[in-house]
Amino acid sequence: MLVEKRDSLKGEITVPGDKSISHRAILFASLAKGTTEIDGLLMNEDCLYTINAFRKMQVKIEILPDNKVRIHGNGLYSLKPPTTVLNSGTSGTALRLLLGVLAGQPFNSVLTRDDYALRKPVGKVVTHLRQMGANIDGRDSGNLCPLRITPAKLKGVTCNLSIFDTYIKSPMLIAGLYAEGETKVIEKIKSRDHSELMLNHLGADLKIDGLEVTSKRIENLYANDIKVPGDISTAAYFITAALLVPNSDVTIKNVGINPTRTGILDVYKSMGAKIEILNERTVNNEKVADIRATSSSLKATEIKGALIPRLLDEIPIIAVAATMAKGTTVFKDLNGFKIKESNRLKYIVQELSKLGASIRETEDGMIVEGGKELKGAIVEGYNDAAITMSLCVAGLIAENETMIRKTQILDIAYPEFITVLNKL
């Protein structure tokens, strides 16, 4: 991918549907009784795997034009035994949510993922579901797919989650819909709450009390149409580009601004960014708005603590913004998070350094000395969408041309990215 410096970005755009919400919309609508229409679904490969998994359990799902899907659910207790293995593709989110569903079913199932993802650990979700009584077996004591799930009588438990284990919350709340008694999840920091909001939209009656969420067995979920907002993690690249490229004025329409996901907006505002939230509204319990970003002179900041879980996916693109900020931006408290474990932090430091950025990794984060001019070079995207799109934004402000290698992941994650960028 070849990227050239730009002297202006202007216009209105939309971004694909939020990935986290899209997976949940498919899953929860498949468990609900009645017909749910989903508008704005992210139609990527991962979501198609989720659709296919429920089709194998005899849920009728129609894929309509314009990112719309119609799901004819038979109810919470009406899934049918799959005759073949269920595949969650490359999505860890789909894998964990499906585990929460399958743990409570009265039939056997096998859940796997794509070949290259088979070596990735499932994480602690299997351990916590087993504490509820789930029967889950697999390689490495259930830490690696394929996983075999057999019928079990689930019981409610109380679970205290660390800030590193928030991915366990949704599978437990889903399993709690099938369990005897109450399932209570207590967090250290408020994490993404898309599951709670959507389950209640479909009649689950989850109790939310600060950092405590309680799920219990219910008679059913009931169909209710869902509009999926644009993904703020995707909008982040266009917001950042508008802030950094001179003479820019970009509005991204219909973006989800759930408070558990807007850490990047808080960081940029602390850096002096010119960002406006327009036309704010609530759609199926989710906050949605248009976001306008214009060219800004940024100043350095410190990113740490409670902010981190609210902007983990955006760390690479914030690092790009930090290269242009006046002063030294410090990222802390990243140990234990996937940004470190996946080497994504190492990659963004390494590749931005090739462009001339003054940036270095630390024991628990990174430090970026801002204000140093970037110069085009040959860099690598590592087939990681966040790294690739972040480097693309860096290329928009770097002198001369920037060549990004290993970018094929965009064909799956966001094929229209360059097309949309070129329209601005």
Is residue 231 annotated as involved in ligand binding? no
The encoded tokens of residue 333 equal 């408290």
Segments in 121-225 forming alpha helices (H): 125-131, 139-142, 169-176, 194-201
Among 313, 364, 384, 411, the active-site one is 313
Q: Does 364 participate in catalysis according to the annotation?
A: no
| Residue 13, φ and ψ in degrees, nearest 5 | -140, 170
Is residue 313 annotated as involved in ligand binding? yes
Q: Number of helices (H) and strands (E), helices first, in the chain?
A: 15, 24
Largest CA distance in the chain: 63
Strands 10-14 and 249-256: parallel
Strand order in the sheet with 358-362: 302-303, 328-331, 365-369, 358-362
Is residue 340 annotated as involved in ligand binding? yes
Distance between CA atoms of residues 144 and 110, nearest Å: 12
One-letter amino acid of 324: M
Q: How many residues does the chain have?
A: 424
DSSP code at position 311? T
Is residue 344 annotated as involved in ligand binding? yes
Distance between CA atoms of residues 348 and 345, nearest Å: 5
Is residue 92 annotated as involved in ligand binding? yes
Using an 8 Å Cβ cutoff, are 241 and 25 in contact? no
3-state DSSP call for residue 341? helix
Using an 8 Å Cβ cutoff, are 202 and 354 in contact? no
Torsion 320-325-328-329 (CA) sign: negative
Is residue 166 annotated as involved in ligand binding? yes
Distance between CA atoms of residues 173 and 378, nearest Å: 46
Positions at the binding site for phosphoenolpyruvate: 19, 92, 344
Positions at the binding site: 19-20, 24, 92, 166, 313, 340, 344
Positions at the binding site for 3-phosphoshikimate: 19-20, 24, 166, 313, 340
Residues that are catalytic:
313
